[in-house]
Amino acid sequence: MTSLFSAPCKPLLRWYQKNLRDLPWRHTTDPYRIWISEVMLQQTQVKTVLPRYEQWFQSFPSIQHLAAAPLDDVLKAWEGLGYYRRARFIHAAAQQIMEQHSGIFPEQFEEMLGLPGIGKSTAGAIASFCFDMSTPVLDGNVKRVLKRWHNQPEATDKQLWGLAQSAIDASKEPAMWNQSMMELGATLCQSHTAQCDICPVSKSCKSAFSGIEKQPPNKKKTPVKDVFWQINLHVHPEKGLWLQQRPEKGIWAGLWTPPIIELPQKPACSPCHIHLLTHRRLHLYSSPLLSPPPPKGKWVKELSQLALPTGIHHLLAKQTSATQFI
């Protein structure tokens, strides 16, 4: 298996050194910074992460600061990145590092896997980038590259992990190899286009110049469910807006919103705002209310202090009565 990867190793590494994007997390081997970048980049585009990356370390310059911060502050810092479960895992992992590892990010691969929210691929990135371990990354980009190289569009994750391990072992440069694979998949070997004419490893790729029609059709997508929510805006000219914290599980878990009532069916009127999630389409209907708010919650005048869902921010921006508190 090693000989299979010996040919593309040097060309790919040379290509990467000449064409790599200048990204801030590529200028450090600090496991805390690498960890945060890897989690931010899960299901989030680089252009979205870039401005938020340095902002994060201004708020939480160390694992110690992160672990000591209230969860609300962590969620607020994550605001706009989506998939807030990642932020909750980061906070829990920081506290575990303080309790079990004396505040030092663990160097052992198995100990990394023991931290909340860190799977095999994220641990592989941290271990290779920070500690030069021969541990592969298997994100969506790398999976696609490996499937095309071997012309195995139906390869299972188990098979891909084996191929990824053989490749990184053959490279002798684990950190740069993982970066190279991810960069190749993010730039030249994308899901809908394959630039084989300028790809550094096309001579070793079994799918080169064959087009992307050999890739298996996308799996049947989970249908998007329409959800209809009444958002009750209790506004007080002096106290602000009444907010409640969402439950620990479910949509917008742990975030702050005005009181929400799920409607049994679609109202006759048009929604004030429609917000798209991965498998949900939220139809938000809102109305300013003068009636007393429900018992659970609090008045908030400075919304910048709490983490609100992006959908609620958009909704409030459309409501004249609530705009003053945004």
Residues with catalytic roles? 38
CA distances from 317 to 281, 311, 326 (A): 19, 10, 7
Cα dihedral 121, 127, 133, 139 in deg (nearest 10): 20
Residue whose C-alpha is closest to residue 190's, from 137, 122, 142:
142
